[in-house]
Structure 1
Amino acid sequence: MAGWGACAGAVLPTGETCDGTDDNCDGVIDERDDPEVIWSSFIGSSYNNNGTLHAASITDGQVVEKWSVNPQSNRIWPGRALAGGDLDGQPGPEIVACQEGSGARAFHADGSDMWTTGPGPYCDQPSIADLDGDGSPEVLLSGAVLDGATGAVKFTFPVNNGTSWWREKAIAVDVDDDDALEIVTGSRVFDSDGTMLADTGLTGTYPSVADLDGDGSPEIIVVANLGKNLFVHHIHVWRYDANMPGNFEIVRQDVDINGPLAINLCPSNSNGYSGGGGPPTVAEFNGDGTPDVGVAGGIGYAVFDGAKLMDPNTLNADTLLWIKQTQDCSSSFTGSSVYDFNGNGRAEVVYADEEVMRIYRGTDGEILAEICNTSGTLHEYPLVTDLDHDGKADLVVSSNNYSGFTCPGSNTKTTGVRVFSNVEWTRTRNIWNQHAYHVTNINDDGTIPAVEPKNWQEPGLNNFRLNYIDEPFALSDLVVTEVWAECGDPYTLVARVRNIGRAEVPKGVTVGMYAGDPDLDGVQLGQLDTTKTLYPA
């Protein structure tokens, strides 16, 4: 893997990627502009205080920082996640960050202030969605919904597990098939106006959604991790069902994410010993046509067979597809992402613990790649996106050097946002806008859909925290469509080159002009390299 580094202080949440500026000067901010990676950094070990927000892009193979901002009032909480999307209907996505202690604030695409809530609702993993389908997005926090344009609190709703890192998270999905979004937490469903529709009574922290049994309706997959000393590190599966008592059905509960691994792989006073479990990732891992569930804990990364999770005749322990020992005793609630890097129809897992980032084969957990990446860890996870516009997926991961963790076998550490690439990886989108990313929650131009397509019903999707493969076997096809001469001294020959294929072509393609057929001893008159990415016509 080739790599770039963009180091600006220590980083915990990986952040998000989106197109924020009109780089190709066509008057539109969309997927044809250079994506920016947005992240927040901190000084020393102070990941709860005085965060700085950064935006950078990769231009001509170099990391270029576009802007940074360090507000001195309503300061950024650098250890919390970010979300990006068009909140004001103007070109360019806005960025939502959490404030120290409580509340949120939004920035325009150039880093200028948009709004702040001041001290207010709790914020840790904000999401952006158009809950009421009126064309104006809302910002969803753990327990509150904000007006996306102003930051005003529209309503609040109850969540479990206190106010710390283990507080219930909330996502927006349509679970009752009415073409409108609901708010889903680890244990409840609320309508878009805050009315409670279901309360399972389960303990849950991180929800994800996918159709595990292929019936066209989604299941809610929840990781329950209630923190140190409570010995809760489980998966639950349930679904909204208006025909059942209480409007829900519990499909399976209390699946131990540690499997056969011993909890004493972490020290007894750590989160990883008595807790564990980050946000679940849903993807097709083993090629059986059913989505599976991946989750990281304090001592291992585990993948559970989706079909077996839905089979009432399968014991909890037998739902485990594979598990590999890892090391995240510090937070024990890091996340992961998945992507089909080689286009074979089965996802690979990307996961970074306290010392190493690894790519696992989805079918059996075999390590395909690993590289040192140190982190004190919170809830971060690697992102997969096309960050340099070369038509290939890139891997974005955060790291920091404030903790005692070092690269295995050495005393070295890493820090900052790091980007890795491989020319053999498949094509993907250049956007990943929030912690609860699931492809259909945002359009390619950064706008938020008024009616969000159901991810689990879209061809090639039915996943959560996986970026989509953009025609992995698509090819480019460059043709010269026009040639003309311009009189002068010297004269000028002009050729118009178009891409009539289905894959973009990076700049730098050599175009030669000949007097006669070059295969029949035609004389070359000159040559030039293209200066812009050529997109499919």
Structure 2
Amino acid sequence: GVPEIVGITENDGIAIYDNTGQLISESGNQSLGGANPAPALANLDFVGFAEIIVGRHVFTLEKDVNGALVLLDLFEGAKNHGVNGQGPVSCVADITGDARPEIVAGTTAYRMPTPPAGATKQSDCTGMETMPEEIAFCQGNLVEVWDGNTVNGNALPTSNAEGFCAIADVLGQDQTIAPSPQNPLDDQPEVIVVANGNVYILNGQDGTLQRNLNPSEGARGGPPNVDDFDGDGFPEIGTAYSTAYVVFDLQDPVAECPAWTNVPNNDNQSCAAVNTPRTPPMVNCMSDLDCSSVTPGTVCNEQTGACVCLHNSWRRKTEDDSSRVTGSSVFDFNGDGAAEVIYNDECRFRIYDGLDCSVYMNEPSESRTRIEYPVVVDVDNDGNAEIVFATTNESGFCSENLDSQYNNGIEVWGDASDFWVSARRIWNQHAYNVTNVTEAGGIPQHAPEHWQQYAGREYNIFRSNPRTLGIAPDLLVEAVQVTSPGSGCGMLSTDLVITAEIKNQGDLRVGPGVEIGFSGFWNAGAITEPLYADNMMTPLVFTLQTSLEPGKSIFISVPYDALNNSPMTVPDEITVYADQTDQARECDEANNETTIPVLAGAMEPDLRVELGTPNTVPTCPTIPTTVFNDGSAAANNVVVRYYSGNPAQGGMALHDELLQSPVPAGGQVSFDAVIPSFPQGLQITVWAVVDPDDAIAECNDGNNADAADAPVQCGGVN
């Protein structure tokens, strides 16, 4: 349930850390095949632990006698590693359709051999094996599925056989012609390899060469990105060379939509200024026919309602005189259907418009320019994307000598107004393809094919994160209650507590940082004012401190003194506003407020729960629990539900405790709850909610949850 971290050491060893950064195990030199290797994680045999893949090397894992995760066996391929001057980097997916994942290293595809019956590790072998794959397993050899040079001969020479890979569906049903609305993608993956200045596109099933693209922008080239750069509904390929970032568009150019092969002299010059401008129809569109009937070779970007060319290749000047293999990433930040490019060369960090190569951002930021690249994730759990990247000031590579303008280290950048769309909360490896890892860091036993659509969402990308436009939170104020502290339910003074249930009924998390606002209406004088937190007219505001997940609710409570407002009496109505500053982009902005009359209400219970420090004896865990009733009526059949983690954040229900006696008004009941079937080997903060199903009418539902005073761990390390 808790992820580990895998890294490569300076001497080509493999280090495994726990989620706190503590070293679990470290191997010696593994001779991984190149400088700056990048590990990948995948479950290649569908059993046990995931495997660690580095180029053509596969390491299986086991737990030693002390319970530490360590390397077990090595399996190695016989041909390409997946290097391009730096590396290796390999890609994993079931590219042949045989329900077994392949490992792509350079222009060679490997897979794990089938073990002898009953064998789970090489030491189980007897030496009596006769089947070729059983022998391969026992000798630690990967099976070669196909090899690009073997299949294609001189068309893919051995001098270009090494390279960086991506896997995506980029060609149509007829692979000999350009993909287009008339030749749609065939739901079969291709292997894209950047090698020695070339971009090769290979049939994923048999390794036959389908395209050889060479932009003549220098040797090598960075790990490829695949995404819809231009909003035409088809994927493009991007990679960084020594002198330019290049976007390859596989659709055919036409007169109105020419290829842009000339490179602007600087970031202020547009690509159209040095190439023949593209002229898609300037009409509002709802379908491709609205565009193609006017100008063939154009389609409708339905996100923007604008016609775009099918072909939108371009190049931008960059500087990478050292490695010439620096990575990049892509992401549709503004939700317009076209992905932006994020790239850091030796001197500058830039964000490019994927459609027309406009430079959105240009900041001094030197890079070591090995194979590193920026990644796009939601690092603060607020429902908006951020960019994470490393900057250095020690290499001296940059011709502009910008190293005095910044510090080195890891940086996180986001939109100042949080208008970027959402992103996943994980980007776990160099050869990232989304479906290879869950947001919790789990490696799927059977990874879904990442070039397919799932639930209407497109995943046919590589080194990118999926589109999220149309996937948004939807906040509403589900309920509002007003009580007076120190007074029983059914009595109000000018000293109030306002409790509101804020619900996210959308399909994307929101916050933290979302503001909840309050206003009042007084019948006398027909006065409407913001509620004030003090006599200095400071608006009463509650700011969410945690994220609010889809389908979840959170209760917030704020104290309010009616003497702070000009009428100096309790308002006749109170309105609560969710996201009063419109910080979150929601799918429905019109349902964010609720107004209630301020009434004393009925004589009702007011339940709350307090947890103490968990005990591990005599039974682990035993949770000291006290249920209070601060209301004016007794509560019967009271249930307390215990959770692993905060239930408002997706905590898992563990156990229900039914109180055997009523909780009297103004009284309390204390007991020790024993939680059976408690998760073993994990540090868990136990939460409890009294009346979790809202079965008891209360005057205040906002104080029903509490966390234990300390986390508890039962059993050994998992």
Same structural fold, with TM-score higher than 0.5 when normalized by the shorter chain:
yes
TM-score by length of 2: 0.54
The aligned amino acid for 2:104 is V
Deviations 1:388-427 (A, max 9, x none): 2222111112111112245848663431111211122111
CA distance in 1, matches of 2:380, 2:193: 34
From 198, 203, 212, give the equivalent of 1:239. Answer: 203
Aligned pair partner of 2:187 in 194, 204, 216:
216
Question: For the Cα contact (< 8 Å) 1:336–1:350, is it kept in 2?
Answer: yes
Structure 2 residue matching 1:456: 3-state secondary structure: coil
Match of 1:477 among 475, 478, 488: 475
2:18 paired residue among 89, 108, 111: 108
Secondary structure of 1:151's aligned partner: strand
Match of 2:214 in 1: 256
- Are residue 323 (structure 1) and residue 327 (structure 2) matched? no
TM-score norm. by structure 1 comes to 0.71
Other structure's SS at 1:236 match: strand
1:282 corresponds, among 226, 246, 249, to: 226
The CA distance in 2 between the partners of 1:375 and 1:387, in whole Å, is 22
Q: Distance in 2 between matches of 1:492 and 1:321?
A: 60
User: How many pairs does the alignment contain?
Assistant: 415
Superposition deviation, residue 308 in structure 1: 5.0
Among 144, 147, 151, the alignment partner of 1:196 is 144
What one-letter code is carried by the residue in structure 2 that aligns with 1:129?
A
Matched residue SS, 2:71: coil
What residue in structure 2 maps to residue 50 of structure 1? Answer: none
Q: Distance in 2 between matches of 1:508 and 1:477?
A: 10
Matched residue SS, 2:506: coil
Contact 1:406 1:412 in 2 (8 A): no
**Counterpart-to-counterpart distance in 2, 1:338 and 1:163:** 22
Distance 2:314 2:239 in 1: 11
Query: Which stretch shows the higher mean deviation, 381-390 or 406-415?
Result: 406-415
Paired residue for 1:499? 504
Residue of structure 1 in register with 2:53 after alignment: 140
Distance of 2:84 and 2:194 partners within structure 1: 16
Q: Is there any run of 5+ residues in structure 1 with no aligned partner, and where?
A: 1-89, 226-232, 242-246, 264-274
**Partner amino acid for 1:240?**
G
Contact 1:168 1:204 in 2 (8 A): no
Residue identity opposite 2:391 in structure 1: S
Query: 1:26-425 counterparts in 2 under 5 A?
Result: 90-91=1-2, 93-122=3-32, 124-134=37-47, 136-148=49-61, 149-160=69-80, 165-166=85-86, 168-193=88-113, 194-201=142-149, 202=156, 203-213=161-171, 214-225=185-196, 233-241=197-205, 247-253=206-212, 255-258=213-216, 275-308=219-252, 321-405=313-397, 408=400, 412-414=404-406, 415-422=408-415, 423-425=418-420
Identify the match of residue 437 of structure 1 among 432, 437, 444.
432
- Partner residue of 2:277? none
Residue identity opposite 2:146 in structure 1: A
Kindly provide the CA deviation profile for residues 464-497 of structure 1, in whole angstroms up to 9, marking residues without a partner as x.
Answer: 0011233456243221425253651666443333
Q: Cα deviation per residue 1:417-442 (whole Å; 9 max; x = unaligned)?
A: 11211122111112111111111111
Over 3 Å counting, the alpha-carbon distance change for 1:390 and 1:240 in structure 2 is closer
Report the alpha carbon displacement of residue 322 of structure 1 after superposing the two structures with TM: 1.2
Q: Note closer, same or farther for the CA distance 1:494–1:172 as it changes in structure 2 (3 Å cut).
A: same
Query: Contact (CA 8 Å) 1:301, 1:326: kept in 2 or not?
Result: yes
Residue equivalent to 1:15: none
Sequence identity of aligned pairs in percent? 31
Q: What is the SS of the residue equivalent to 1:150?
A: strand
Question: Using the alignment, how far apart are the partners of 2:517 and 2:232 within structure 1?
Answer: 46
* Alpha-carbon distance change, 411 to 119 in structure 1, aligned in 2, over 3 angstroms: closer
Distance 1:325 1:135, change over 3 A: same
For residues 460 and 301 of structure 1, the distance between their equivalents in structure 2, rounded to whole angstroms, comes to 25
Offset, 1:281 = 0.5
Cα distance, 1:305 vs structure 2: 1.0
Q: Structure 1 residues 176, 348: closer, same or farther in 2, change over 3 A?
A: same
Q: Alpha-carbon deviations, 1:95-137, whole Å to 9, x = none?
A: 1111223221110000112222222241711001111122521
Give distance in 2, aligned partners of 1:196 and 1:456: 23
Higher relative contact order (CA 8 A, sep 6+): 1
Query: How far did residue 204 of structure 1 move?
Result: 2.8
Give unpaired runs (5+ residues) of structure 2: 62-68, 114-141, 150-155, 172-184, 263-310, 488-494, 534-539, 552-718
Q: Which has the greater radius of gyration?
A: 2
1:278-336: per-residue Cα shift (whole Å, max 9, x none)? Answer: 10111111233221110101111101113359xxxx99x99981111110001100011
Aligned equivalent of 2:441, options 435, 440, 446: 446
Deviations 1:9-35 (Å, cap 9, x if unpaired)?
A: xxxxxxxxxxxxxxxxxxxxxxxxxxx
User: Partners of 2:532 and 2:86 in 1: how far apart?
Assistant: 68
Cα offset for 1:152? 2.0
Name the CA shift for 1:360/1:519 in 2 (closer, same or farther; >3 Å): farther
Whole-Å Cα distance in 2 between the matches of residues 249 and 514 of structure 1? 71
Preserved contact between residue 84 and residue 221 of structure 2 (Cα < 8 Å): no
Per-residue CA shift, 1:341-371, capped at 9, x if unaligned? 1111111111110001111111221212111
Find the aligned partners of 1:293 and 1:380 in 2 and give their Cα distance: 18
Partner Cα separation in structure 2 for residue 519 and residue 307 of structure 1? 68
How much has 1:528 moved relative to structure 2? 4.7
1:374 aligned partner, one-letter code = E
Residue 118 to residue 476, structure 1, CA distance change in 2 (3 Å): same
**Amino acid of the structure 1 residue aligned with 2:548:** L
Match of 1:509 among 506, 515, 520: 515
- In the alignment, structure 1 residue 521 sits paired with structure 2 residue 521: no
| Partner SS state of residue 195, structure 2 | strand
Q: Note the aligned Cα RMSD (angstroms).
A: 3.0
**Preserved CA contact (<8 Å) 1:135 1:449:** no
Farther-moved stretch of structure 1 (527-536 vs 419-428): 527-536
Deviates more, 1:507-516 or 1:98-107: 507-516
Contact 1:428/1:468 (<8 A) preserved: yes
Residues 1:426 and 1:108: Cα distance change in structure 2 (over 3 Å): same
In structure 2, relative to structure 1, the CA distance for the partners of 1:168 and 1:430 (3 Å cut) is closer
Relative to structure 1, the CA distance from residue 437 to residue 308 in structure 2 (aligned partners, 3 Å threshold; closer, same or farther) is: farther
Amino acid at match of 1:442: V
Contact conserved, 1:405 with 1:413, CA < 8 A, in 2? no
Cα contact 1:94–1:106 (8 A) shared by 2: yes
After the TM superposition, which of the residue ranges 152-161 and 381-390 deviates more from structure 2? 152-161
1:536 match: 550
